[in-house]
Structure 1
Amino acid sequence: MTADVRTEDGCRLWADQAGAGAPLVLCHGGPGIWDYLGPVARLLDGQARVIRWDQRGCGRSQRRGPYSVGRFVADLDAVREHLAGPRTAVLGHSWGAHLALRYAIEHPERVSHLIYVSGTGIDPERGWHPHYERNLRRRLGSHLSRWEALGARTLTPAEERERAVLQWSADFADPDAAMTHAEGMATPWLGINHDCNRAINAEVKQELRESDIAARCRALDLPVLIIDGPEDIRPRSGVDSLEKALPNCERVSLAGSGHLPWVENPQHFRRAVAAFLTSLP
């Protein structure tokens, strides 16, 4: 069931909810793209009332700023208030994992469980990115030259979609299925908000350099589940310091999966999340 959420500054956010039970709010990655977590909602709708939303300026939400981590934390709180109630579990993927973590740090009394899927950690030097670039180029293989050629010029919407599909294909461990999975992520194609992407990425880098987020994680008194795919082209060692900082954390690595572990190992993903959600808050 779709719904519109209005933030206190008047921005309209697209949202959807399905299933029954305690609420679980999903935060998609990007930044600058739309919610692609429908398959996660379908996996978990027997365990929770799953709420998805498009972040401000992205997908089906209103195309307006400002684009900042603090603003997105406030938007997530608006989704929680309108659709989830006083307290909810929160699951974030990739950039959305950082958003979910920041939300839990800012509003721990409003979060029952935090699920951190395929995030990139809290290390201030962001040392994962060179490894990501090398692994991306290696996994693109025969598609590398086309991906590079598209990146060297101004793109039509069709070309932008093509380049995104090529890049997203590297996020899957199985090369035979990777393009099919990436095409699924890009359908329907709702466009990339590059202004949002640049602003949020720059702020996250600055935030990790200038704030002691590890200390705030050490004070976070709620259960956290970290889920990784060992074949993710972003080095999973980047999350080690986050795992060590969290006082109530478990970590699950789902064999045979990359950046989107629910796609390539759905049964174990559902089992891990369901068991965690039924644990005592």
Structure 2
Amino acid sequence: MYHWDQRGCGRSQRRGPYSVDRSVADLDAVRRHFGLDRVALLGHSWGARLALGHALAHPGSVSRLVLVSGTGIDDDATWHPRYQDAFFRALGEDRARWEELRARDTDRTQAEDRELAVLQWSVDFADRDRAREHAEAMATPWFGVNAECNATIGAELRQGSAGLLRERCAALEVPVLIVDGERDIRPRRAVDSLERVLPRVRRTTLAGAGHLPWTEDPEGFRSAVGAFLA
């Protein structure tokens, strides 16, 4: 199994350019670096879109594709307002602090950057009693968040052509597994558009899990992915 820190993130240098195509090319460079002719790709959230993009660009190098807690190929407007409402409900009493930190933007300390990330990531867990604990673990060790990278790639994804992406997905012959957490605050109907168009797809929804289903239902996640890859 191989895992890498994407360009501008984690232990990688904060150096662009940042784009979807550049990220796909970086992923293919990792594959070629390890001398792998074909790989089974697993991507989570934005990583699911990245893995899909790589499979569309290099279908011959992908044997299986696992898309975890991603979104679909329809416009964000079809699901994002409901996600935003759910986000603020999940924040609850932490919303005021989140808004205070968010408003300071470039005037935050490193510790405050981490606090903002922990608050934001905590909403992704269905178990509210352990949400902060899980988010703290995600932020340890702390490498920071690359706001420029997030904003640039996010804007590009929002401007993409859903029609063209739908046509390319309909022609993809790579077997695909979609894994959802039933209680992900991103409406799961957001990925319905992708499921409908892929010709070789199966889908597993894990009850009681949020946006990071391997954390809240590790056995269910392991079973679904393991059976698919086998």
| TM-score bin, normalised by smaller chain | over 0.9
Equivalent positions of 1:177-256 (< 5 A) are: 177-209=130-162, 212-256=164-208
Given that 1:118 and 1:259 are in contact with CA atoms closer than 8 Å, whether structure 2 keeps it comes out as: yes
Q: Under a length normalisation based on structure 1, what TM-score does the superposition of the two structures give?
A: 0.79
Residues 5-40 of structure 1 show CA distances to partners (whole Å, capped at 9, x for unaligned) of xxxxxxxxxxxxxxxxxxxxxxxxxxxxxxxxxxxx
Question: Offset of 1:151 from its aligned partner?
Answer: 1.2
Residues 77-128 of structure 1 show CA distances to partners (whole Å, capped at 9, x for unaligned) of 0111112611000000000000000100010000000000000111034422
Distance in 2 of aligned mates of 1:101 and 1:158: 34
- The one-letter amino acid paired with 1:226 is I
- The one-letter amino acid paired with 1:156 is T
The structure with higher relative contact order (CA 8 Å, sep 6+) is 2
Question: Offset of 1:245 from its aligned partner?
Answer: 0.4
For 2:97, the equivalent position in structure 1 comes to 146
For 1:70, the equivalent position in structure 2 comes to 21
For 2:40, the equivalent position in structure 1 comes to 89
Distance in 2 of aligned mates of 1:113 and 1:199: 28
- The one-letter amino acid paired with 1:117 is V
User: What is the number of residues matched between the two proteins?
Assistant: 228
Residues 248-280 of structure 1 show CA distances to partners (whole Å, capped at 9, x for unaligned) of 0000000110000000000010010000001xx
Residues 216-245 of structure 1 show CA distances to partners (whole Å, capped at 9, x for unaligned) of 101000100000001111111010010000
For 2:70, the equivalent position in structure 1 comes to 119
Given that 1:172 and 1:178 are in contact with CA atoms closer than 8 Å, whether structure 2 keeps it comes out as: yes
Given that 1:230 and 1:254 are in contact with CA atoms closer than 8 Å, whether structure 2 keeps it comes out as: yes
Given that 1:72 and 1:99 are in contact with CA atoms closer than 8 Å, whether structure 2 keeps it comes out as: yes
Decide which moves more: 76-85 or 193-202. Answer: 76-85
- Name the structure with the higher helix share: 2
Shift in CA distance, 145/244, structure 1 to aligned 2, threshold 3 Å: same
For 2:84, the equivalent position in structure 1 comes to 133
Q: What secondary structure is seen at the aligned counterpart in 1 of 2:149?
A: helix
Decide which moves more: 138-147 or 67-76. Answer: 138-147
Structure 1 vs Structure 2 CA RMSD = 1.1
Given that 1:121 and 1:238 are in contact with CA atoms closer than 8 Å, whether structure 2 keeps it comes out as: yes
Distance in 2 of aligned mates of 1:266 and 1:84: 30
Question: Offset of 1:130 from its aligned partner?
Answer: 1.3
Residues 140-190 of structure 1 show CA distances to partners (whole Å, capped at 9, x for unaligned) of 112111111111113111101001101111000001110000000000010
Distance in 2 of aligned mates of 1:142 and 1:62: 36
Q: Under a length normalisation based on structure 2, what TM-score does the superposition of the two structures give?
A: 0.97
Distance in 2 of aligned mates of 1:269 and 1:260: 10
- The one-letter amino acid paired with 2:88 is R
Q: Which runs of 4+ in 1 moved over 3 A?
A: none
1:162 aligns with 2:110: no
Given that 1:228 and 1:254 are in contact with CA atoms closer than 8 Å, whether structure 2 keeps it comes out as: yes
Decide which moves more: 119-128 or 237-246. Answer: 119-128
For 1:100, the equivalent position in structure 2 comes to 51
Ranges in structure 1 where 5+ consecutive residues have no aligned partner: 1-49
